[in-house]
């Protein structure tokens, strides 16, 4: 299997996106060189970064780029991440609410599964919080990442009811 990656500056900060020929398989919230992958902006990576930029500017509420989490997650993690993908833009659920929804009694197990999310933002684990008073962790509990989680939640709440209408008279300059 061939893997491709590219690093992008986004409104959220530098991000490295990783894909195979068919799907987005990894997101890192920093600029990295990925060992064993070719630095190349494949059409899939281009679509993914375009969708991410649309999200950052409030023009997209969910992602439809093909994603594959099967390489790096357990069955339990897949179950958690599949459920988390259904949490609507602008809303949050607590770890215990997610646990109960998937038939598990452990909020901590859900937290550990989310910690392993290979596609943060694309699979919106930032929408899962500890409680009204506790935001919970985010990607290794790095203080910058927890700040990012708070900012993403605030951004989504602010833009939850916003609709984006594409201009009807737009002409692509490359056509």
Contact between residue 129 and residue 136 where contact means Cβ atoms under 8 Å apart: yes
Catalytic one of 50, 56, 104, 125:
125
CA 146, CA 136: separation in Å to the nearest integer?
Answer: 8
| Cα–Cα nearest to 61, from 130, 144, 158 | 158
Q: Which two tokens stand for residue 122?
A: 């694309």
CA 172, CA 175: separation in Å to the nearest integer?
Answer: 6
Residues 6+ apart with CB under 8 A from 11: 53, 56, 57
- Reduced to 3 states, what is the DSSP secondary structure of residue 76? helix
Is residue 104 among the annotated active site residues?
A: no
Contact between residue 160 and residue 167 where contact means Cβ atoms under 8 Å apart: no
Question: Strands 93-94 and 128-129, how do they pair?
Answer: parallel
CA 87, CA 107: separation in Å to the nearest integer?
Answer: 16
> Which residues are identified as catalytic?
125
């Amino acid at each position: 299997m061939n893997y491709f990656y590219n690093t992008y500056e986004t409104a959220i900060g530098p991000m490295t996106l990783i894909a195979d020929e068919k799907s987005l398989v990894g997101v890192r919230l920093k600029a990295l060189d990925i060992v064993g992958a070719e630095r190349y902006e494949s059409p899939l990576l281009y679509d993914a970064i375009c969708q991410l930029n649309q999200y950052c500017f409030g023009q997209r509420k969910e992602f439809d780029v093909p994603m594959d989490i099967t390489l790096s997650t357990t069955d339990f993690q897949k179950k958690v991440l599949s459920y988390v993908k259904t949490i609507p833009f602008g809303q949050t659920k607590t770890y215990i609410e997610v646990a109960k929804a998937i038939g598990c009694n452990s909020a901590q197990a859900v937290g550990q599964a989310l910690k392993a999310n290979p596609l943060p933002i694309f699979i919106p684990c930032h929408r899962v919080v500890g409680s009204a008073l506790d935001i919970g962790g985010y990607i290794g509990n790095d203080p910058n990442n927890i700040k990012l989680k708070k900012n993403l939640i605030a951004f989504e709440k602010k833009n939850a009811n916003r609709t984006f209408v594409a201009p009807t008279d737009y002409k692509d300059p490359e056509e």
